[in-house]
Homo-oligomer: A and B are copies of this chain.
Amino acid sequence: MPASTSSSPHTGSRPGGRSARVRADVHRAVRELLADEAGEPPTIPVVAARAGVHPTTVYRRWGSVGELLADVTGSRFSGGFVVPDTGDLRGDLERYAFNLAKDLGDPDSLALIRATIGVAGAQGAAACLGERRQQLDAILEREEARGGRPPTLDHTTDAIIAPVYFRAVFTHLPLSPDWTRTLVARLLAD
């Protein structure tokens, strides 16, 4: 499955012929519609009209708005996120948390997450996480390879990923760099 290869998936065309072009156009239509009007998720006919393709094409390929949103979100949150390698665990985690907070602090990303959670069930939830846990695991494994004793992946998920997603989705509290540094400091103080 082709994934967005840039952290700014709104621009650029993708190789791969007509099928890849349709996918890119439909994905862009979904993102634009969600950015225009937060609120109820777009319907397939509205997405198709915006993308300039026939609704049947969208139904045949994705089946439902839920599957379409999960696909758009999955490609938005996979790839394009560089795993930091600063040379030590604290630096890596601080950079990771900063990047995550910056990503989820973007209103368009948040609108995509909210809409996907709303209609795409468990598949959508997994898409909203993308490769976040794997990326964190890579940081922890690197620390182990250095001879360190990092916290577990579950602990790190509870301490870093969970608060950032929770703050972004459920509150108005700011995702500030001071706060993400504090999350790391608490985790490593244990």
- Pick the interface stretch among A17-25, A80-88, A161-169: A161-169
Q: Which A163-187 residues have C-beta < 8 A from chain B?
A: 163, 165-167, 169-173, 183, 186
Give the secondary structure class of A's interface: helix
Residue with the highest number of chain B CB atoms closer than 10 Å, among A114, A158, A170: A170
A161: chain B residues within 8 A (beta carbon): 166
Chain B residues within an 8 Å CB radius of A121: 38-39, 114
Residues in chain B near residue A173, CB distance under 8 A: 154
**B163 A170 Cβ-Cβ under 8 A:** no
A: which residues have CB within 8 A of B?
38-41, 64-66, 114-119, 121-122, 125, 128-129, 154-155, 157-159, 161-163, 165-167, 169-173, 183, 186, 189-190
